[in-house]
Amino acid sequence: MSHATRNTQHVLRLTYDIYLVGVGGQGVLTIGELVAEAAHRRGVPVNFYPTKGMAQRGGFVKARIRLGREMAGPNIPEKGADLVIAMEVSEALKAVRFIKPGGDFVLFGHVWAPTAVMLGKADYPTLDRVQEQVQEAEGRMYYLAPESLPLYEGAPVPANIFVLGAATGHTGLGDILVPSEVAHVVQTRWKRGVERNRSAFQAGLNAFTGS
């Protein structure tokens, strides 16, 4: 189901475009902030374009990160994203048209059911359906089951940091940014929860191994 091996064919590229999707409240935009900061510290030109407004309201959230261009337009064209990070199963579908054929598609399998779905009045796409669509768009699927979220002191680690770790460790993102530097940004961004965040990121880096 998931491609557990790192794409070793990946050549070092000068530009790298990331499309992020999820639901307000999942920390999708935080992933973008962290990537932007790690890039900036490394001197990699970055343009981070979040769509805000519904962040606290359980609405669709998206963001675009363009790395490596001195002059970067904010938007990524369809079929242009080297990497998609989707934090929610249904919202992942909204990113499919942006994945570049052969690009990496990291999906965290959380299901955030809208009320109508919860009440049985509306349909919700199956995971198979989403994987099928990604495959049709020739994206390389990296699936992270919500159950794979490790615990830290008895509570699940922050999913967004875990997913960022997985993307950094297993996709081309790790070629343009240095994993240890991303880890440093994760650990210095907040005063609280340093160890929790560190372990979340590390668990992401180690994801897919042994599965």
Please return the burial class of 188, using the count of CB atoms within 10 Å of its CB with bins 0-12, 13-18 and 19+: exposed
By CB under 8 A, residue 152 contacts other proteins: no
Identify the residue among 6, 124, 152, 184 touching other proteins (CB under 8 A).
124
Say whether residue 115 binds other proteins (CB under 8 A). yes
Binding mask 70-99 for other proteins (x = CB under 8 A): xxxxxxxxxxx---------xx-xx-xxxx
Q: 11 vs 119, which CB is nearer to other proteins?
A: 119
Q: How far apart are CA 92 and CA 49, in angstroms?
A: 18
Burial of 14 (0-12, 13-18, 19+ CB in 10 A): exposed
Out of 123, 128, 147, 153, name the contact with other proteins by CB under 8 A: 123
Q: Can residue 60 be called a binding residue for other proteins (CB under 8 A)?
A: yes
What is the token pair recorded at 131?
């994987």
Q: Does 50 engage in binding with other proteins (CB under 8 A)?
A: yes
Based on the shown chain and the rule CB under 8 A, indicate whether residue 113 belongs to the binding site for other proteins. yes
Residue with tokens 């008895």: 154
Contact 82, 172 (CB under 8 A): yes
CA dist., res. 118 & res. 27, Å (int): 22
Contact residues toward other proteins (CB under 8 A) are: 23, 33, 36-37, 40-43, 45-54, 56-60, 69-80, 90-91, 93-94, 96-99, 113-119, 122-125, 129-130, 133-134, 136-137
